[in-house]
Structure 1
Amino acid sequence: MPDQQRSLIVITGEEGAGKSTVMSALLPHTPNGAKIDAEDIGQVNPFTFDGPFLELLRQNLTAVIANFLDAGYTTVIAGSFLDGDTYDGLRSLRTRLPSDLALYVVQLRASKIVRDQRRIARPKPSSQEWRDRVDAGYPIGDTSLQDNAYDYRYLMIDNSDQQLDETVAAIKLAIPEVYVLRRAVPED
């Protein structure tokens, strides 16, 4: 197979937009791929959401991405960053990664009704108070990821009315460099 450019696919979106679900569904379609859910590497007790914790999370996340790339995985799917849903959060991550890494940002959106249904149905504990508190902290109307898409490809998907396979298909179609089938090059 020809060498494939190393890529990072960042999945962002509000809580309940489907980040973890989409990342898990996308991985089997990702040739030579790895998946990192920042929510998993940020599980600590006691949980203190402050500047030093966010810095530790950024360091851990970039170290795991780099480790996968150094081990030969050409595409890393990463998501669920605590501050990655804005351009400032993405820029902070980007400055820590290799400059030759192709970057793709997929921002998932879903209506509040759909997000609440998903959050209630999953195994994590949830309450109306918690959902409202998390939603209040999300940068509503922030278009900075789309507006600053100069050195990365940006894709926004409203998956409120989509089945999971439709969302995965839309991502694969938008990133043919990663998801196109490559033919073996005949040897001379």
Structure 2
Amino acid sequence: MSTVEHLVVAPPGNRLVLVNGEEGAGKSTIIRALLRHTPRGARIDAEDIGQTNPCPMDDEFFDLLRRNVAGLVESFWTAGYVNVIAGSFLRNYPDYLAFRRLLNQSPTVFLVELLVDKEVRDHRRVTRAKRTTQEWRDMVDLIPEDRTIRQAAGADYRYVGVDTTGLDVAETVRRIKAAIPEVYARVTRPR
């Protein structure tokens, strides 16, 4: 008997997978890798749409970035892409709340935080294709690690923490997919 793979029917409505983590955690890489596994999906990497010179990294800049990402998310949903993956634009839980207020719809939200040991993160930052300067890395390192997103009481998202320290991209994606069956579950049915 042959089998056919089908998507599990997810609850109706739009879904948003937010990928968060410190610089070098692998956000851009994972956002790209997740898309090919995401049915009716779209991706937004704020690092791609938020390139400025100079890049102030202040509250005004992050407000602009949130507005741009929210507008793109809404546009993708309107076009029928019900599963949107977005990342690289949240610093903390207050940023998340400000972003949610910008959305006209109430999606199901999954917040994936990529966690990584500092030594591995530092190695990734200097060996990846996306080059940075020592000055940039030093500036980013002054930003304290945020724990408000993972510890937020009453948050309207499901938090998924993935330690990527010893994982390759495929295993990281596999763990995210397993943690979010509403988007990524498949069933095999006899034909």
State the TM-score, normalized to the length of structure 1: 0.87
Find out whether 1:104 has 2:104 as its counterpart: no
SS at match of 1:77: strand
- The reply on whether 1:86 has 2:70 as its aligned counterpart is no
Partner-residue secondary structure (3-state), 1:29: coil
- After the TM superposition, list the runs of 4 or more consecutive aligned residues in structure 1 that deviate by more than 6 angstroms: none
Within 1, Cα distance between the matches of 2:188 and 2:166? Answer: 35
Partner of 2:167: 162
How far apart in 1 are the matches of 2:122 and 2:108? 33
Amino acid at match of 2:184: Y
C-alpha separation in 2, matches of 1:40 and 1:61: 11
Given the alignment of the two structures, is residue 113 of structure 1 paired with residue 140 of structure 2, yes or no? Answer: no
Which residue does 1:175 correspond to in 2? Answer: 180
Tell me what 2:129 maps to.
123
Q: Distance in 2 between matches of 1:77 and 1:58?
A: 14
Structure 1 pair 95/183, CA: closer, same or farther in 2 (3 Å)?
Answer: farther
Gaps of 5+ in 1: none
1:117 counterpart SS class: helix
Which residue is 1:54 aligned to? Answer: 62
Within the candidate set 3, 22, 31, 1:14 is matched to 22
Report SS of the residue matched to 2:95: helix
CA distance in 2, matches of 1:152, 1:51: 23
Check if 1:71 corresponds to 2:79: yes
Letter in 2 for 1:177: E
Q: Secondary structure at the match of 2:110?
A: strand
Q: Which runs of 5+ in 2 are unaligned?
A: 1-6
- SS, match of residue 144 in structure 1: coil
Provide, for residues 19-57 of structure 1, a one-character-per-residue CA deviation record: whole Å limited to 9, x for no partner: 000111111100000000001111123433334332222
The verdict on how the C-alpha distance between 1:66 and 1:114 changes in structure 2, with shifts beyond 3 A counting, is same
CA distance in 1, matches of 2:147, 2:131: 30
Structure with greater proportional strand content: 2
Residue in structure 1 matching 2:141, options 112, 125, 135: 135
C-alpha distance in structure 2 between counterparts of 1:57 and 1:147, whole Å = 24
Kept in 2: contact 1:14–1:135 (CA 8 A):
no
Q: Give, as a single letter, the amino acid of the residue that structure 2 aligns with 1:16.
A: G
Q: CA deviation at 1:183?
A: 7.7
* CA contact 1:4–1:74 (8 Å) conserved in 2: no
- Contact 1:11/1:19 (CA < 8 Å) preserved in 2? yes
Cα displacement (A) at 1:64 = 0.5
Aligned residue pairs: how many?
180
Which residue pairs with 1:147 in the alignment? 151
Report the TM-score, using the length of structure 2 for normalisation. Answer: 0.85
